[in-house]
Amino acid sequence: MQDFDVVILGAGAAGLMCAMAAGARGRRVLLLDHAAQAGSKILISGGGRCNFTNTDTAPDRFLSDNPHFAKSALKRYTARDFVALVEKHRIPFHEKTLGQLFCDGSARAVVAMLLAECDAAGVDLRLNHRITEVSRADRFRVDTDRGGFSATSLVLATGGLSIPKMGATGFSLDLARRFGLPVTATRPALVPLTFSGEELELMQPLSGVSLEVVARCGRQAFREAMLFTHRGLSGPAVLQVSSLWRPGESLTLDLLPGTDAAAFLLERKCSRPRAELRTVLGEVLPGRLAQALGAGAAQEMGNLPDKALRAVAEGLGRRRVTPSGTEGYAKAEVMGGGVDTAALSSRTLEAAAVPGLYVVGEAVDVTGWLGGYNFQWAWSSGWCAGQVA
C-alpha cells in the first residue's frame, strides 16, 4: 500500500489539470488511468488541433439541472487563465470562429504542456492501471491490478460515456452512486440526429451537402453550419441543438438565415418569371438541396400562385423536423447529465456528504456548448478541486 495526499482517477483534461494544481500546492498526488496514454480525448479533439477554450465563456453556455452551478468555477479559473498557460508554453494558436481557440499545430502540444506541468509539480502518473476496488475508512483506498494506494482526498475524473471504444466508462457515475451521491439522467449530447420515414427519404440523397442554417430547439437558436448525413443531420448547428433536444420533440430550421424567403420568391416571380423554382432556389441554396426542394414544382415561377410560393417560403424559413433519435454515445462528443450538482460544492467540487471526495469534468452534470466550452469546464472544475484536495 502506497500513501498519497490525493489520488485522482482519470488522466484526462480535468484530471491532469487537477493533478498539476494540487501538485503545485505541494500535495503528494497520484494520477491513475486505465488507458495506455494520458489525455486521449484531447489528442483527437478539434480534428486533432484541440479547440481548448472559448473566449466567450460564460455560464449561459453550459447546460445543467442547476444553471448557476458552473458560475463559481468558471470565474475562478477562466478562459484567460488557460490561454495564459498555453502562452507560457509558447503553443501557437488562433481563433477559428465564434471565440473558438485552436492550436495552430497538433493537440499533442496541449497534452505535452499538461504533462510537463504535472511533472514539474511532482505528480506521480501511472497509466495502464485497472482499478479493481475503491473504499473508504479513515482514508480512501484504491486497489488496482498493480497494487493498492491510499489518500485523504479522492478525485473522480474519469469523464463521461461518449466514445466507449476509446475506453470511456461510467466509472465515476457508478462510484458516485456507491458513495451515495445522486446522478441525473444521462444522454448523448453534441451528437448527430437521426430521422426516419419521409424526412429521411428527403435527407439521405443529400448526404454530404452542408449550408448555414439557424437551428432552433425550444427558445435556443444556433446559427452555424448544418450537414446532411445518410442517417439524418449533423454539423455544428445540429450538434448544438442535440444537447437540448428530447425524444419526441421537433426542431425548427431556417434554411435561409437573414433572408425573408417569401419576399425573395415573390420578387423572383416578377424578375425571373420564366425560371423554374429549383433554378431560383439554386441562387441561395446548395444545388442538390435546391433540386430536391424544387422538384415538386417543375413549373415556371411566373405560373406559380403566390400562395404556393408562400408555402415554399414557410418550408425554407421555418421548417419543422422531428428526429427519431441520435447516433448515440458512439458518435456523441460529450455526455449530458452526470453527478448531480446538488451534491457538490460549486466552489470546490467536493461532495458535501463525503468530505475528501471530489467530482470534476464531464462526470459532473455540466455540459458545455460546442466550441471549446467542455474543455474549459474540465480546466475550471479540475483547477478548483486542485486548490483544496
Q: Which of 199, 224, 254, 333 binds ligand FDA (CB under 6 A)?
A: 333
Min separation Cβ 7 and ligand FDA, Å:
11
Min separation Cβ 316 and ligand FDA, Å:
31
Min separation Cβ 68 and ligand FDA, Å:
20
Interaction between residue 41 and ligand FDA (CB under 6 A) = yes
Question: Which of residues 78 and 162 has its CB atom nearest to ligand FDA in the complex?
Answer: 162
What lies within 8 Å, CB to CB, of 324 at 6+ separation is 194, 195, 196, 197, 200, 232
Residue 139 three-state SS: coil
Residue 251 three-state SS: strand
Interaction between residue 159 and ligand FDA (CB under 6 A) = yes
What's the chain's length in residues? 389
Min separation Cβ 107 and ligand FDA, Å:
8
| Residue showing the smallest CB distance to ligand FDA in the complex | 12
Using the structure block, give the residue that is written with the C-alpha cell 471565440.
Answer: 99
Question: Which of residues 158 and 194 has its CB atom nearest to ligand FDA in the complex?
Answer: 158
Min separation Cβ 54 and ligand FDA, Å:
8
Question: Which of residues 18 and 261 has its CB atom nearest to ligand FDA in the complex?
Answer: 18
Strand partners, 142: 134, 149
Question: Which of residues 99 and 167 has its CB atom nearest to ligand FDA in the complex?
Answer: 167
Using the structure block, give the residue that is written with the C-alpha cell 480546466.
Answer: 379
Q: How many residues at the interface with ligand FDA, by CB under 6 A?
A: 36
Q: Which of 57, 78, 158, 229 binds ligand FDA (CB under 6 A)?
A: 158
Interaction between residue 24 and ligand FDA (CB under 6 A) = no
Interaction between residue 167 and ligand FDA (CB under 6 A) = yes
Interaction between residue 163 and ligand FDA (CB under 6 A) = yes
Phi, psi of 229 (to 5 degrees): -125, 175
Which pairing describes strands 153-156 and 367-368: parallel, antiparallel, or unpaired?
unpaired
Site for ligand FDA in 225-284 (CB under 6 A): none
Phi, psi of 324 (to 5 degrees): -90, -20
Q: Which of 6, 14, 21, 351 binds ligand FDA (CB under 6 A)?
A: 14
Question: Which of residues 127 and 295 has its CB atom nearest to ligand FDA in the complex?
Answer: 127
Cβ–Cβ under 8 Å, residues 367 and 378: no
SS3 annotation, 22-64: HHHCCCCEEEECCCCCCCHHHHHHHHHCCEEEECCCCHHHEEC
Site for ligand FDA in 168-197 (CB under 6 A): 169, 171
Interaction between residue 13 and ligand FDA (CB under 6 A) = yes
The rounded distance, in Å, linking the Cα atoms of 1 and 203 is 58
Cβ–Cβ under 8 Å, residues 111 and 43: yes
What lies within 8 Å, CB to CB, of 305 at 6+ separation is none
Interaction between residue 44 and ligand FDA (CB under 6 A) = yes
Question: Which of residues 159 and 323 has its CB atom nearest to ligand FDA in the complex?
Answer: 159
Residue 341 three-state SS: helix
What lies within 8 Å, CB to CB, of 351 at 6+ separation is 176, 179, 181, 343, 344, 357, 358, 359
Strand partners, 193: 233, 326
Using the structure block, give the residue that is written with the C-alpha cell 473508504.
Answer: 136
Min separation Cβ 321 and ligand FDA, Å:
25
Instruction: Point out which residues bind ligand FDA (CB under 6 A).
Output: 9-15, 33-35, 40-41, 44-46, 50-51, 131, 157-159, 162-163, 167, 169, 171, 333-334, 361-363, 372-375, 378
